[in-house]
Amino acid sequence: MKKALAALIRHPSGRIGLFIVGLYLIIAIMGAVGLTPHNPLQQFMLDRLKPPSGNFWMGTDLLGRDTMSRLMMGIGQSMVIAFASVAFATIAGTVIGLLAAWWGSLWDGILMRLMDVLLAFPAILLALLIIAIVGPGTATSIAAIGIVYTPIFARVVRGPALSLKRRDFVDAARTFGSAQSYVLTRHLLLNLVAPLAVQVTLALAWALLTEAGLSFLGLGTQPPTPSLGLMLSESKNLMTQAPWLMIFPALTIMLGILGFNLAGDALRDILDPRTQRREA
Amino acid sequence: MTSGVGKRASNLMNYVAQRLLTFPLILLGVSVLVFVSIRLIPGDAITAMLGTEAGMMTPAQRQALAAYFGIDQPVWSQYMRWLGGLFHGDLGISSIYGKPVLTVILERFPLTLQMALMSMVIALAIGVPLGVLAATRNERPSDLVVRVFAMLGQSTPSFVIGVLIIYVLSVYFGMVPAMGTFTPITVDFWASMGQLIFPAITLGFAFAASVTRIARSAMLDVLSDDYIRTARSKGASSISVVWHHALPNALIPVVTLSGVEFGYLLGGAVIVEQIFALPGLGRLTLDAITQRDYALVQGSVLFIAFNFLVVNLLVDLAYVALDPRIRLGGR
Amino acid sequence: MTPLLSVRDLRVGFGRDPGANEVVRGVSFELEPGQTLAIVGESGSGKSVTALSVNRLVDFGGGRITGGSILFQNADGTMIDVTAADEKALRHVRGRDIGMIFQEPMTSLNPVHTIGAQIEEAFRLNRGLAGAAAKQAALDVLERVRIPDAKSRLGYYPHQLSGGMRQRIMIAMALAASPRLLIADEPTTALDVTVQAQIMALLAELRAETGMAMIFITHDIGLVAGIADRIMVMQHGVAVEQDETSVVLDHPRHEYTKHLLRAVPHFSAGKAAREDGKRAGGGEPVVRVEDLVVRFPVGKGFFAPKAAVHAVDGVSFDLLPGETLGIVGESGSGKSTTARAILDLVSRQRGEIAAKVGHSKRPIQMVFQDPFASLNPRLNVEALLAEPAIANGQRKDGALRQRMRFLLDRVGLPEDALERFPHQFSGGQRQRLCIARALMLNPDVVVLDEAVSALDVSVQAKVLDLLIDLQREFGLAYLFISHDMAVVERISHRIAVMFAGQIVEIGDARAILSDPQHSYTRRLIAAVPAVERRNQHFAVDMTQVPSLVRPAGYEPPPALWREAGADHLVREEAP
């Protein structure tokens, strides 16, 4: 773990990704504990639609709220949803994928066809359906995004788990009579940590993207709580008068996704057995 | 060693047969899931359908309306009836449009199909050459430029690109992209293409970035394979090595990715349709969900899943065409 | 006579700083037209890199020539320095002047093009042939490399052919331009020994027909004895000895050459068979295998299986304490499946495996072929060695650690190895680890499935010695599965020869190796390369292995055995 982090810092684009992710986490915490330039919900009636200035670094919106403070809080909101939904998908997907691979035959067929059913829905529509059932909100977004990405994790785990299952060290374990739980955790799961770490990082990027998309459609985080997608969506009708309302949320979303993508890619470079073999 | 034509044919038949067998199973799963989940949406369908008018109806009228749409029955019997209708091509009546569901869907589908095709063409036309170029110039400046493009493309949500395109067009070119209307390609080819070009670029950008990345990494893998060294030992030129020996072997991941993306695009691009106010399949489904048009949600989700599966089957058949090992069986 | 090829002080490096990371460090040699040079060495000796430098293919593998010159004589008699030539000139050299064949015939042909297209391409590039002319030329060259039914094979894809066939296709492709030099980089290492003999005989014939020169790279000094004019021995990037073949083989001067010739296992027709621990009649077997049958259904899934691969078909043998039974056979003979069935890693259709429970609940343990794949890379040595003990209810206490240290010491690994991870060990050390792990449960029988096949030849010799020592110390019985006759000869007391899922000959090692009775055993032994037999010549034998796929319900006829000696049984062959 420590070694992977050190390698990530040494990796040129991994360093950038790690820096962005770190920055966003700090901003998210600052937003959560109220360390924002202004109250994100406060309406400065005299300063409506002001361009960036010394007081309002990123300008204000139609209701006179500070864009920067709102973005900081929005980042926090996005991060909570992204991390929680990816945690859900990782755990559920890993368990399903691992068991499908280990049990094989009939169970494999049933579990993976179920995953296929979920995959046959476009992600946004599946999320929409879930939101329609339970109503929009933070918890709904987490559940919706989590369920959407569960089959992807199940597939990511199942493939390597199947090939690990056929490896000689698993056969060796069988000749000693090792317990199933030992084989599943030590021989399969432990060797899946590397591909999972890559997938988790990249999934965080998609989760940010999906969350922003849902709130852009007005189905994610509900006003007045600020969220990045909603801010961008609201800016659409004001883009000629107040382009800052569009530019800053757009850049914030892009940069965040970019950070996770860069970190995930670098992790893949570092943990890829093929590049490792080349070094050996 | 493979022996005999019969065995090869049965290999391929097995493969297709297995695919075709799971096909209806998955559709059945999708339809059950939709059928149940849409009925879990709180609130009563008649109210959602008619809005304030519903308040003015007598219980008898509501009962009659529910019976008309078949939603007065228990869920499972509704499902059986719906399933029965399915075999006759009857997906029920849309409560929003008052027309057969299939008719409504088929009105919206041409736009979605055309937009998906246009973005795929854009993505492949940009992505494959860029990916190949980057792989052959591994770690050199042009590779880095391509990787930065791909990384940015992958990190930019479609709605950011869509909004930016509209902004740039309106502020710098003083034009507003055509919105809200769609001319079928059969009526006016150029008008139709013009209306969809910006939405297609919006969708194609991230798509192109993914194609670039996958083409690059597949090419990098293939270029280090033994048979590439063999081709070089025969004295083949670099161009022949890249395009004739390597690319056909690197296409499978590209086809897989393009197939999955295209399959999803056929399900409608909700966000882009929303930005450009296009009457596509995505918004149709979105509206159907928010307005509790049970029959329409069921019909369109099933239609989307069906398309997705068909595209996946086509991708499998593409493997068969691309890779003789799959086509002819054997090891 | 001007040499065809003259290499002077060649240096080749890899990585970002090739000068500091040299794999070939100042190699010089010359090659006359029509001559064959064998470059012999173990992995990491720089032999392949040297050869790949001659046509500069090394550039594409990340290598850089950092010094020296490679002069190659053009067809018109002028010389070209390959190290300084541009890409266009190199393409000319690669295709027309220097043909090349590689180690891995399975991966060296492009899977998406037919073999006809691939051979025709060679003719088009180097002889300017196109269309029907190219096709005819491809057909001719396929016949020259003895591909049966060449016309229809042109339309085949590589995966439809066996390894030996593919290597012949590679040779055909290399011959397309009538090169004046053929570089063969371990061309038979991935092939079965009888196929190897076919390819070697073919290369010798073609060389005589065309008069081309050849550079033959191998780790097996016995293999080139019959084909090379000169031998160059390489170690750590340096040529330690080079001279005429007879001089190198009969009067080696360098220590390393002597080591390769003497310490490394070479087949000697039973003379090197073990004298110790022979079967003294009677005794209770530790394992008895009776009529073992393993079949895999073909065409599973949608349609009911219509046929089955008869991987193991009625195998019986027994194993006494302290003795080694070597099971030899080629790929597909069922020898590994037999081993896996004994440990219940594949399920058997029928047959009985009776093991006498001695010191341990699990009296049979196994060591696998690939030491990289049989150790979980994420666990350290302590966890790896503890696993069998924990699986059988022991606790990880002082006594267990004591046993781990004891076994590590016995297999020749340092005590501090416990904290380390598999990737920190070499292949030979990993295999020692696997042996130590197999001994953790104090077994009576160890199944060694190609346990030394993945190791370098000199490491092989050391691991074999270790195995023999351990056998004596712990009274172990070994079931030693291998395709390599030289290795089997060194460790076995008894030998079973497997062919197509059945044992065709079984008995005393020396008796079988010196006086083989079954026609397959004879063919197998004749195919083994040996320094001593280098002046014998063999005809190109094109016998193919029969298919093991049988219709459902097929049962082979019962085996009839003939006694050929005291402990020597031979299966009767169908007339």
Q: Do C157 and B17 touch (CB under 8 A)?
A: no
pLDDT tens-digit series, residues C123-169: 999 888 888 999 999 999 998 888 888 888 899 999 888 888 898 89
Please, what is the angle between helix B101-136 and helix B281-290, to 10°?
Answer: 130
Q: Which chains touch C (3 or more CB pairs under 8 A)?
A: A, B
* pLDDT for position A13: 86
- Dist CA B301 CA B278 (whole Å): 19
User: Bigger pLDDT: B272 or B55?
Assistant: B272
* pLDDT for position B54: 63
pLDDT tens-digit series, residues B282-330: 999 988 888 888 889 889 988 998 898 889 888 888 888 888 877 765 4
**C 457-516 residues with CB below 8 A of A?**
none
User: Bigger pLDDT: C217 or C301?
Assistant: C217
Nearest CA distance, B329 vs chain C (angstrom): 8
* pLDDT for position B7: 44
Nearest CA in chain A to C424: A280
User: Bigger pLDDT: C49 or C549?
Assistant: C49
ipTM, two decimals: 0.84
pLDDT tens-digit series, residues C204-232: 888 988 999 999 999 988 888 888 999 99
Mean pLDDT score of chain C: 88
Q: Do B227 and C174 touch (CB under 8 A)?
A: no
- Dist CA C200 CA C206 (whole Å): 10
- Dist CA C233 CA C242 (whole Å): 6
Q: Do A254 and B155 touch (CB under 8 A)?
A: yes
- Provide the number of CB pairs (under 8 Å) joining chain B to chain C: 101
* pLDDT for position C545: 61
Share of chain B above pLDDT 70, in %: 88
Share of chain C above pLDDT 90, in %: 49
Over residues C54-75, the mean pLDDT reads 90
Q: Which residues of A touch C370 (CB under 8 A)?
A: 168
- Segment (H or E) for C296: strand C287-298
Q: Which of B3, B7, B248 sits opposite C112 (nearest CB)?
A: B248
- Cβ C181 vs Cβ C212: under 8 Å: yes
Q: Do B234 and C94 touch (CB under 8 A)?
A: yes
Q: Is A45 touching C (CB cutoff 8 A)? A: no
Residues (pLDDT < 70) of chain A are 1, 272-280
**A 46-75 residues with CB below 8 A of C?**
none
Q: Which of C55, C109, C299 sits opposite B230 (nearest CB)?
A: C109
Q: Categorize the per-residue pLDDT at C540 as very low, low, confident or very high, splitting at 50, 70 and 90.
A: low
* pLDDT for position A277: 40
Angle at C366 between CA C365 and CA C370, to 5 degrees: 160
Of B221, B206, B208, B209, nearest to B135 (Cα)? Answer: B221
User: Bigger pLDDT: C345 or A239?
Assistant: C345
Give chain C's length: 575
The CA distances from residue C187 to B207, C102, C202, in Å, are: 44, 5, 12
* Helices (H), ranges, chain B: 5-40, 45-50, 59-68, 75-86, 101-136, 141-155, 158-172, 189-223, 226-233, 238-240, 247-266, 270-275, 281-290, 294-322, 324-328
Q: Do C303 and B3 touch (CB under 8 A)?
A: no
* pLDDT for position C371: 86
pLDDT tens-digit series, residues C417-436: 899 999 889 889 999 999 99
- Cβ A86 vs Cβ A74: under 8 Å: no
Q: Which residues of B touch A212 (CB under 8 A)?
A: 157, 159
* pLDDT for position B117: 96
- Cβ C18 vs Cβ C11: under 8 Å: no
Nearest CA in chain C to A193: C378
Q: Which residues of A touch C361 (CB under 8 A)?
A: 177
**A 159-218 residues with CB below 8 A of C?**
167-169, 171-179, 182, 186-187, 190-191, 193
pLDDT tens-digit series, residues B249-268: 999 899 989 998 999 899 88
* pLDDT for position A279: 34
Q: Which of B22, B37, B301 sits opposite A113 (nearest CB)?
A: B22
C213: alpha, beta or left, given left = phi > 0 and alpha = psi -120 to 50? beta
User: What radius of gyration, in Å, describes the C-alpha atoms of chain C?
Assistant: 26
Q: Which of B154, B289, B308 sits opposite A261 (nearest CB)?
A: B154
Q: Categorize the per-residue pLDDT at C536 as very low, low, confident or very high, splitting at 50, 70 and 90.
A: low
* pLDDT for position A233: 86
- Cβ A130 vs Cβ A143: under 8 Å: yes
Nearest CA distance, C254 vs chain A (angstrom): 30
Please, what is the angle between helix C381-391 and helix C398-410, to 10°?
Answer: 120
Neighbours of C44 (CB within 10 A): 14
Q: Do B41 and A132 touch (CB under 8 A)?
A: yes
Q: Do C157 and B322 touch (CB under 8 A)?
A: no
- Provide the number of CB pairs (under 8 Å) joining chain A to chain C: 65
Nearest CA in chain C to A278: C15
SS3 assignment, position C32 = coil
Q: Which of C99, C108, C111 sits opposite B324 (nearest CB)?
A: C111
Mean pLDDT score of chain B: 84
Mutate to test the interface with B, among C90, C302, C306 (most CBs of B within 10 A): C302
Q: Is C390 touching A (CB cutoff 8 A)? A: yes
Nearest CA distance, C30 vs chain B (angstrom): 21
Instruction: Judge if the upstream peptide bond of residue A37 is cis by omega within 30 degrees of 0.
Output: no
- Dist CA B293 CA B97 (whole Å): 9
- Spell out a b/e string for C361-382, using b for 16 or more CB atoms within 10 Å of the CB, else e: ebbbbbbbbbbbbbbbebbbbb
Nearest CA in chain C to B16: C302
- Cβ C383 vs Cβ C433: under 8 Å: no
* pLDDT for position B187: 82
Please, what is the angle between helix B189-223 and helix B141-155, to 10°?
Answer: 130
Q: Categorize the per-residue pLDDT at C1 as very low, low, confident or very high, splitting at 50, 70 and 90.
A: low
B44 pLDDT above the threshold of 70: no
Q: Categorize the per-residue pLDDT at B48 as very low, low, confident or very high, splitting at 50, 70 and 90.
A: low
Q: Which of A113, A121, A258 sits opposite B25 (nearest CB)?
A: A113
Please, what is the angle between helix A105-119 and helix A138-165, to 10°?
Answer: 140
- Dist CA B88 CA A73 (whole Å): 53
Sheet holding C477-482, edge to edge: C364-367, C445-449, C477-482, C324-328, C494-499, C502-508, C568-571, C561-565
* pLDDT for position C448: 95
User: Bigger pLDDT: B81 or C316?
Assistant: C316
Q: Do B157 and A257 touch (CB under 8 A)?
A: yes
The CA distances from residue C498 to C197, C426, C481, C526, C561, in Å, are: 19, 32, 10, 16, 14
- Dist CA C575 CA C571 (whole Å): 12
- Dist CA A57 CA A51 (whole Å): 8
Q: Which of C340, C376, C387 sits opposite A176 (nearest CB)?
A: C387
Mutate to test the interface with C, among A108, A163, A175, A188 (most CBs of C within 10 A): A175
pLDDT tens-digit series, residues C81-133: 999 989 888 988 888 899 999 988 889 999 999 999 999 999 999 888 888 99
Q: Which of C376, C388, C441 sits opposite A186 (nearest CB)?
A: C376
- Spell out a b/e string for B76-91, using b for 16 or more CB atoms within 10 Å of the CB, else e: eebbeebeeebeeebb
Tokens representing residue B153 in the block = 């493309």
- Cβ A157 vs Cβ A200: under 8 Å: no
Nearest CA in chain B to A124: B270
pLDDT tens-digit series, residues C426-468: 889 999 999 999 999 999 999 999 999 888 888 899 999 999 9
Q: Do A186 and C370 touch (CB under 8 A)?
A: no
